[in-house]
Structure 1
Amino acid sequence: MSEVWFTALVLAVGLERVAELIVSSRNAAWSLARGGVESGRGHYPFMVVLHTGLLVAAVAEVWLLDRPFRWWGWVALVVVLLAQLLRWWCISTLGRQWTTRVVVVPGARRVGSGPYRFVAHPNYVAVVAEGAALPLVHSAWMTALAFTVLNAVLLRTRLAAERAALRELV
């Protein structure tokens, strides 16, 4: 896979993220209009910077450090695609309750179907998998490592906020 194709892949993931933000904004507005309460606002800007940084750094590392495409890049690409499928399964399962922020409508029911039957936070499984695999599609191992470490720190804060907020659900 050439650097150009990798850049196109990262741009496609970036466009997917824009689609997520559109869905998230609509869902957050819907939830807030019904008395939804947002938690964990303080960490959200760091999340935005980290996820944007993943995309920029992956492309920069490939181009600036002349990272080669290796055969295992195909495996990483499959992981990236599976992460997208899992993410959109989460979004469709949660419906209007899904946002990139932690917004909970008091009295709403906690979702236990779809991927939530198997794991409490499947969207974060997708985030972790994608964050490691996307840069590795084209051997950008420094970006994969940095994102993984920083994301682990951030997810600790995010999960604490989310768990506290979800206690409010029925």
Structure 2
Amino acid sequence: MSQVLYTVLVALVALERLAELVVAKRNLAHSLAHGGRETGFGHYPAMVALHTGLLAGCLLEVWLADRPFVPALGWVMLVVVVASQALRWWCIRTLGPLWNTRIVVVPGADRVTGGPYRFFSHPNYVAVVAEGFALPLVHTAWVTAVVFTVLNAVLLRVRIRSENHALTEAYA
């Protein structure tokens, strides 16, 4: 895979993220209109910065460090990237108007336990972890993969704690 094709892949992931933000904005309006309350918003700017940094880091490392495409690694990681996108959109479809990039709990809404939520408490974060590790490694951007993975682990610790607290309060 050439650097140009990899750039197209990262651009497609960026477009997918923009589509997520459109869905999240619509769903936020829906949730707030139904009495939803946002919590844990303090870490949200860091999350946006980290995910933006992932995309930028992928491109910068591949282009500036002239990282090679290693087929045995790259093709496997591409499959992981595609699978993580599929899992993310399964989460979005399962949660419907309750899905959001923010932590918003709508009073009276049933806790979702179907779809991928049958298997994991936080399947969207499984997708985020997989994609954050795999996308850079499609083109051997290992520094970006390691840095994102470490920083994302710290962020997810805060995020999941905030989300679990909000869900416990809502469904206790």
Structure-2-length-normalised TM-score: 0.98
Q: Could you tell me which amino acid in structure 1 is paired with residue 20 of structure 2?
A: E
Local SS of the residue matching 1:78: helix
Query: For residues 107 and 159 of structure 1, what CA distance do their matches in structure 2 show?
Result: 21
Q: Report the number of matched residues.
A: 170
Q: CA RMSD in A?
A: 0.7
Query: For residues 122 and 148 of structure 2, what CA distance do their matches in structure 1 show?
Result: 19
Local SS of the residue matching 1:119: coil
Query: For residues 171 and 65 of structure 2, what CA distance do their matches in structure 1 show?
Result: 48
Shift of 1:108: 1.0
- Identity, % of aligned positions: 66
Q: Which residue of 2 aligns with 1:58?
A: 58
Query: For residues 50 and 5 of structure 1, what CA distance do their matches in structure 2 show?
Result: 23
Q: Could you tell me which amino acid in structure 2 is paired with residue 138 of structure 1?
A: H
Q: Could you tell me which amino acid in structure 2 is paired with residue 96 of structure 1?
A: P
Local SS of the residue matching 1:38: strand
Q: Which residue of 1 aligns with 2:78?
A: 77
Shift of 1:83: 0.1
Query: For residues 162 and 152 of structure 1, what CA distance do their matches in structure 2 show?
Result: 15
Q: Which residue of 2 aligns with 1:162?
A: 163
Query: For residues 26 and 162 of structure 2, what CA distance do their matches in structure 1 show?
Result: 21
Q: Which residue of 2 aligns with 1:86?
A: 87
Local SS of the residue matching 2:128: helix
Contact 1:108 1:169 in 2 (8 A): no
Structure-1-length-normalised TM-score: 0.99
Shift of 1:169: 3.1
Deviation per CA, 1:49-93: give whole Å up to 9, x if none: 000000001000000000000021000000000000000000000
Query: For residues 53 and 155 of structure 1, what CA distance do their matches in structure 2 show?
Result: 16
Query: For residues 39 and 157 of structure 2, what CA distance do their matches in structure 1 show?
Result: 14
Query: For residues 122 and 110 of structure 2, what CA distance do their matches in structure 1 show?
Result: 16
Query: For residues 144 and 29 of structure 1, what CA distance do their matches in structure 2 show?
Result: 34
Shift of 1:147: 0.2
Local SS of the residue matching 2:70: coil
Gaps of 5+ in 2: none
2:116 paired with 1:134? no
Shift of 1:106: 1.2
Query: For residues 146 and 111 of structure 2, what CA distance do their matches in structure 1 show?
Result: 33
Query: For residues 119 and 69 of structure 2, what CA distance do their matches in structure 1 show?
Result: 34
